[in-house]
């Protein structure tokens, strides 16, 4: 009985953590929208007005000041835009999104194990989300599995995604099909490795180096 109570307590704590995480993401999205709609709109209007003022003004010396004002407003607009995009991207919680996709998959049971301490950058997150969706679709269409294991691991130098089922795969070419090609392209675009095995069930092993997200941060 004590073991069951402990499990119920842990399940409740996990549910509360997920609800808090979801509330935080929703609040970040709300703030991002308000900044975009309100501050962004005002800055856009000010940029247009300063541009029109420079066109109408005939005083060259004053135009230099107007140009400086215009450039400052433009820089402020770019900073706001970048901050809003970053705020929205950070609000996409990988664990929550994986859980959402898994909860909506009813073909068979899924055992999910998440071992990542911090959210990866957006390109890695979106790649993993797309690959999970495509992999589950392939399992549903080509396998007779009764259980799927989804494992996300973080290592010092890389992120690892493993998806495997316990079924027998109906014959299909892993080198063909837009879904498989898309998965491979996504992983390779992040300098990662992907291995798809169908000899004993459907298995996908993916490793993406953390340097991929470091390079992205520098580029941005």
Better-scored residue on pLDDT, 85 or 134: 134
pLDDT tier at 171, thresholds 50, 70, 90: low
User: What is the distance between the alpha carbons of residues 209 and 220, in angstroms, rounded to a whole number?
Assistant: 18
Instruction: Provide the whole-model pTM.
Output: 0.60
Q: Where are the beta strands (DSSP E) in the chain?
A: 109-115, 147-154, 158-165, 193-197, 203-209
Over residues 95-112, mean pLDDT: 91
**pLDDT value, residue 35:** 77
Beta carbons within 8 Å of 76's beta carbon, 6+ residues apart: 43
Cα radius of gyration (the chain)? 24
Over residues 67-95, mean pLDDT: 79
CB-CB contact of 142 with 170 (8 Å): yes
pLDDT tier at 90, thresholds 50, 70, 90: low
Beta carbons within 8 Å of 14's beta carbon, 6+ residues apart: none
**pLDDT value, residue 218:** 41
Q: Could you report the per-residue pLDDT of 11-34, keeping only the tens digit for each?
A: 666 565 555 555 666 666 677 777
Task: Please report, for the chain, the start and end positions of each structural domain, with discontinuous segments joined by +.
Answer: 2-91, 94-219
Cβ atoms within 10 Å, residue 29: 14
HSE-up of residue 120 (Cα within 13 Å, Cβ side): 34
Level-2 CATH architecture, domain 94-219: 2-Layer Sandwich (3.30)
57 phi and psi angles, rounded to 5 deg: -75, 140
CB-CB contact of 139 with 145 (8 Å): yes
- Mean of the per-residue pLDDT values for the chain? 81
Over residues 83-99, mean pLDDT: 75
């Amino acid at each position: 009985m004590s073991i069951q109570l402990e499990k119920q307590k842990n399940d409740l704590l996990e549910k509360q953590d997920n609800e808090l995480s979801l509330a935080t993401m929703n609040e970040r999205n709300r703030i991002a929208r308000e900044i975009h709609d309100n501050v962004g709109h005002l800055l856009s209007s000010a940029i247009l007005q300063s541009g029109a003022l420079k066109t109408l003004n005939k005083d060259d010396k004053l135009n230099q000041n107007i140009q400086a004002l215009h450039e400052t407003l433009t820089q402020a607009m770019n900073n706001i835009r970048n901050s809003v995009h970053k705020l929205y991207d950070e609000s996409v919680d990988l664990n929550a999104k994986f859980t959402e996709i898994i909860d909506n998959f009813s073909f068979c049971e899924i055992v999910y194990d998440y071992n990542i301490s911090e959210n990866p950058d957006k390109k890695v997150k979106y790649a993993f989300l797309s690959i999970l969706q495509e992999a589950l679709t392939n399992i549903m269409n080509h396998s007779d599995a009764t259980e799927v294991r989804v494992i996300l691991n973080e290592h010092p130098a890389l992120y690892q995604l493993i998806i495997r089922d316990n079924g027998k795969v109906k014959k299909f070419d892993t080198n063909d099909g837009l879904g498989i090609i898309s998965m491979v392209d996504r992983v390779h675009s992040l300098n990662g490795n992907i291995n798809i095995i169908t000899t004993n069930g459907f298995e996908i092993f993916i490793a993406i180096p953390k340097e991929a997200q470091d390079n992205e941060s520098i580029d941005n």
